[in-house]
Structure formats: C-alpha cells, structure tokens
Chains A and B, each alone.
Chain A
Amino acid sequence: MGLTVVGIGSRYARDDAVGLALVEALPTVFSGCAVVTLLWENADALTLAHDLLELPGPVLIVDCADMGLAGGAWRFFAMQDVSLHPHQSTVSTHGVGMAEALAIAQALGFGHPVHLFGVQPFDLSPCPDLTPEMQECLPVLQEALVAAVDRLVRS
C-alpha cells in the first residue's frame, strides 16, 4: 500500500501547527506514486489511536516534537529506531500522548511502519500563527520533508 503522510497539530498553539502547515503544502505525487495526505487537527490521542488503525499502509507523521534541539531543527526517523516511553501507569483522561496512542494502536494490531518527521518548536503559546522564526524555516523544512517522503516512496 502507498504511503500516508499525516500532519498533526493545533492551529491555536503557535508552532504546534508546523506539521499541518508542512503537509498542507506537500505535493501528492512522488516519483510517479500517489501519496495520501491527511491533517489531524486538535485530535486527542485516543482519536489518533483510532485513526491509525484505519490506515492501510505505512505512515509518516509530521509533527512538532520536543527533541531538545534548537528551534526549527528537524529529525526524520523510524519509530522503531527511537525509544518512546508510554507510561503504563499514567494513561488517563488528560494524560494520553502520541506515545500512548501509538502503543495502543500497535497493541490492537496496527503493524505498518511508522516514521516521524519531527520539528522542534520555538514557541507553543496560545496563538493562531506560527512564530516568525518558524515561518522563516518553512522553506528548508519543506525541502527536507519532500526529500524524506521521496526516500520512503522509493524504498
């Protein structure tokens, strides 16, 4: 099955929307192959778990991520290459995050490869626009994302 690229975030928390902005601007054909793009806005993690189960094949998640890097820096990696720690004892109404969503989906049979294109935010305060710094980074980030998608499509 073809690749699905999912932008995740909220448009009301500054750079949290960077995944949405990047996927919105992404071409949908790479090396002659169609790529499905989806935007999951303001979704709680349990909805993410549900929606992951609906995906038919490999997925690339584009999201803002706290990776301890400088603002605007990005990383592209397979989920299997990193250690996400779903907190077995902390799953709760307010406490379900991406790691838990993935863990729930995988426990329920979601077995497709998952990659993440993560972007370090500058600011996540409540505001509808990306920070000016992040907006300056968008062309570079877009280029990097296109290269990442192209690599996945060819692999």
Chain B
Amino acid sequence: MKNDTKTYNIDVHHVTRIEGHGNIRINTRAGVVEEVKLCIVEANRFFESFTRGMLPQEIPWVVGRICGICCVGHQLAATKAVEDSQGITVSPQTVLLRKMFNESQFLQSHVLHVYFLAVPDFVGAPSVLPLASSHPEVVKRALRLKKLANDYTAVMGGRVIHPMSNTLKGWRKLPDLAQIEQIRDRLLAAVPDVLETIAIVKTLKIPQYERETEYVSLKHPDEYALYDGDVFSSDTQKAVPVRNYRWVTNEFTVPHSTTKWSRWHRDSYAVGALARVNNNFAQLRPEAQGVAETLGLKVPCYNPYMNNVAQVVEIVHCAYNSLAMMETVLNGGLQAEDISHTPVAGRGFGAVEVPRGILFHEYAFDETGRCSDANSIIPTSQNINNIEQDMKAFVPQMLPNMSKEELTLHMEMLLRAYDPCISCSVHMLDVEFTD
C-alpha cells in the first residue's frame, strides 16, 4: 500500500480498569501523522489528603490501599518516608525482611504481567482464556508461579493483598521460619517452571523498534537496587538522593491528561524493569544475567517492547536472590524487636522500586505528631509521557508498512509492554476506525 493513501483515525477509547481512564488517539492523513496522543482522564483519588491528621504508624497501611497489585511497594515506600521523618533507623533484620517482602511482590506482579497480559499478544490470543485451551501447560505454569509468589507475600506480610505485618521499626508479627522454609523449598522446586518461562519468552517475536531514552531507577553501590538507593539517570550516569526526588520528576500538566507528567533531562524518561536492568545490569544475579543473554537483552537496550523480557530477567533475579535471603534468615533466625514509637514533628522521604518503576513517598508531621503534608508519585505517572513519546516516534516509522489493525495492535502492545496500571485494561478496548 502506498504511504500517501493512509488516512487513519484511530480512537482507542477508554483504556479502562485503571483508577480512571485513558484513551489512545491517532490521526493520520494521506500518510502524514497529524496527532498521536495518550489521553489520561482518570479522576483524582485524594489519598494524600486522606493521610492528613493521621499518626505516623497509620499511614503505611492506609496508603497501601492505593493499589492492590503494588500494595507492598506503597506500604514500604511510605514506611521508609515516615521513618525518615521520625528519625528512625531500622535493624539489618528488618531491612532483610523488607527486601524479601518487596521481591515477593515483584514475583507476583511480573508473573501476572508476562503470562496473563503480554504472552497472549505474542501468540495471537485475545486473552488468557483461549490461551488456557490452546496452551494449557503454559497457563498451569503461570498459575503455579503466581500462587507461589502470592504465598510468599502472605508468609512475609500476613496476607496476600494489603498485608499488615510490616510497620515502623520492624514487624508486628515476625514471619514464621517454618513457613519461610516451605516457601524456599517450593521456590527451589519451581526452577523448572522458571526455566520453561524463559523458553517460552525466547520464542516470542518482539517488535523491532528503538528510541534512545533516559532510563531512571534506584541505584545502590552494593546490590541490584529494588529496596534502597539513590535516583540514577542513564543520561548523566549520576544519582541524586531520594529527598531530592522533585528534581527528577519535575511534574507538569498537559491538557489531555489529568495525570501529571514527568521529565528530567529530556522530554520524558522511563522507569521500570528495562530501566533497572539497563542501569544496574552488573548487579543482577549471575543467573539473571545469563537469562538476559539467552533472551537477547543487551544493555543499553532502547526497545520498550523488551520491558517484558526485562521482567523475566527480574523474575529470575528475584527468585535466586530470595533463595539467598531465605537461607540467611533460616540460618540466623529472627529476633523480636521493639516497635514502639512516640510521634514527633518532621519531614521524610522514601522510595522503593516497585514492578513498574520508582515509587516516591513524602510525609510531614506537625508538633502534635499528626500528618500535615503528603505526596506520592507513582511509576505510571512517570512513564505516561514516555509512552506517548514512544508512540509519536513509532507511528511515523511504522505507518508505511502497517495496516490500521497492525498499528492498533502494536500501540496496545507498546502500552502493555510498560506494564502501567492502565495496561491491565488495554485488553478490553473498543477500537473505532473512522476513515
């Protein structure tokens, strides 16, 4: 088809099942791209306002409710920020348990995204339901891995969704060592499932598209940064402390989005699995580095579709890293700690990596120890701008060789590749073409 015949009006309306809605709008006329927009029309949820007047101990449990998928990450980022505000330093035991807790969430979320959202695209299935009939072993494996990761979270936090065991200064109820041992044994037994996951992902045909991007993630001198570190840019190869996170996010508004957008050294930046792997590859577990090589992920990688592959690399990293942390806990045991605390005035900052990227929390407390100010910036709001920039670069590149259907599919896949909270809804899009 000749390029100059391509007049498309693509309106992917209501990318739903997020906390709000988003639309994809693409208009081309006679082969010329006139408009590419990712419109976010989600409503404010006012969680930051909810926290005002609360005591420091209450906040992590409340803000964990921001998301059912990233509840662990919100709780940990808030816990760290509140502890920072209160001048609390936690023990190595608590840090270790929190790292395990966080990685359990990575395993849950990445398995869910790779198998239930991404893989159906690549095998031509509209969702996991037909995939269950055509590839039952794949779906059974996914369910087994998801169940294992869920149980890991429950052992660490007391329950799968919105766990309650973690608190300021430590653990309200320490995880049970016998249960950790069971999870360790199940994780070891799950290695064949993980290897099969790698084999499946290796067969997927990843779209070939690249756009040089600024990747932002936490960075830590001693480890692959998921729980702690400074905020690092691939552009400058430098990091800033978490307390200066507003230098990074530089939030601004655009008329077609109720979500604030972010930018740092360029028009936009990306966070998430690919950003982390790009920035911290050398600190991945050797097993995960090997998987990256097997799957053709060479850093720096500028193909956003490879974020799914980076998620698989992180599944392997978290599985082996968790096994090592479990051994440490099982060998050393756990000691009850004093978690009492009298609130004081102060302001604090916290950040953790969650599956979709860096999550920032900030809280201030007045002289009565009550929360007077709060701020939370989630990964999706940092990524939205970059997704639109990717779409703007992708459409003119691919327009000459793609039909409307192919273009729409690739836009949806691009959105899903980032695994934003809105990705969960892209499968239920009604796609409307008006020629």
**A and B associate:** yes
Interface set of A (CB-CB < 8 Å, partner B):
12, 41-44, 46-47, 49-51, 53, 86-96, 100, 103-104, 107-109
The docked-state distance in angstroms from the alpha carbon of A43 to that of B153 is 12
The docked-state distance in angstroms from the alpha carbon of A43 to that of B128 is 19
Report the tally of A-B residue pairs with Cβ distances under 8 A: 100
B160 to chain A, nearest CB (A): 6
Closest to A42 in B: B161
Closest to A109 in B: B136
Cβ–Cβ < 8 Å partners of B112 in chain A: 46, 93
The docked-state distance in angstroms from the alpha carbon of A108 to that of B137 is 8
In contact, A103 and B424 (Cβ under 8 angstroms)? no
In contact, B127 and A53 (Cβ under 8 angstroms)? no
Closest to A91 in B: B127
B111 to chain A, nearest CB (A): 9
Cβ–Cβ < 8 Å partners of A93 in chain B: 17, 69, 112-113, 116-117, 421, 423-424
Cβ–Cβ < 8 Å partners of B423 in chain A: 92-93
Q: For chain B residues 149-191, which have a beta carbon within 8 Å of chain A?
A: 150, 159-162
Cβ–Cβ < 8 Å partners of B392 in chain A: none
Cβ–Cβ < 8 Å partners of B159 in chain A: 41-42
Q: For chain B residues 93-143, which have a beta carbon within 8 Å of chain A?
A: 112-113, 116-117, 126-130, 132-133, 136, 139-140, 142-143
The docked-state distance in angstroms from the alpha carbon of A96 to that of B427 is 12
- The yes or no answer to B13 lying at the interface (CB within 8 A) is no
A127 to chain B, nearest CB (A): 14
- The yes or no answer to B290 lying at the interface (CB within 8 A) is no
Q: Which 5 A-B pairs have the closest CB atoms?
A: A93-B424, A107-B132, A92-B424, A90-B428, A91-B127
In contact, B424 and A50 (Cβ under 8 angstroms)? no
The docked-state distance in angstroms from the alpha carbon of A94 to that of B17 is 7
In contact, B128 and A50 (Cβ under 8 angstroms)? no
Cβ–Cβ < 8 Å partners of A47 in chain B: 143, 146-147, 150, 160
In contact, B143 and A46 (Cβ under 8 angstroms)? yes
The docked-state distance in angstroms from the alpha carbon of A101 to that of B87 is 46
The docked-state distance in angstroms from the alpha carbon of A46 to that of B126 is 17
Cβ–Cβ < 8 Å partners of B140 in chain A: 53, 108
**Interface residue count for B (Cβ, 8 Å)?**
36
The docked-state distance in angstroms from the alpha carbon of A44 to that of B127 is 17
Closest to B161 in A: A42
Contact A43 to B69, CB < 8 A, known contacts A93-B423, A108-B132 = no
Contact A108 to B160, CB < 8 A, known contacts A89-B427, A90-B427 = no
The docked-state distance in angstroms from the alpha carbon of A96 to that of B129 is 10
The docked-state distance in angstroms from the alpha carbon of A109 to that of B132 is 9
In contact, A92 and B117 (Cβ under 8 angstroms)? yes
Contact A88 to B143, CB < 8 A, known contacts A42-B161, A107-B136 = no
Cβ–Cβ < 8 Å partners of A91 in chain B: 116, 127-129, 427
In contact, B424 and A94 (Cβ under 8 angstroms)? yes
Cβ–Cβ < 8 Å partners of B69 in chain A: 93-94
The docked-state distance in angstroms from the alpha carbon of A44 to that of B161 is 8
Cβ–Cβ < 8 Å partners of A107 in chain B: 129, 132-133, 136, 139
In contact, B116 and A53 (Cβ under 8 angstroms)? no
Cβ–Cβ < 8 Å partners of B129 in chain A: 86, 88, 91, 100, 103-104, 107
- The yes or no answer to B192 lying at the interface (CB within 8 A) is no
A54 to chain B, nearest CB (A): 9
The docked-state distance in angstroms from the alpha carbon of A104 to that of B197 is 19
Cβ–Cβ < 8 Å partners of B130 in chain A: 88
The docked-state distance in angstroms from the alpha carbon of A102 to that of B425 is 20
B281 to chain A, nearest CB (A): 27
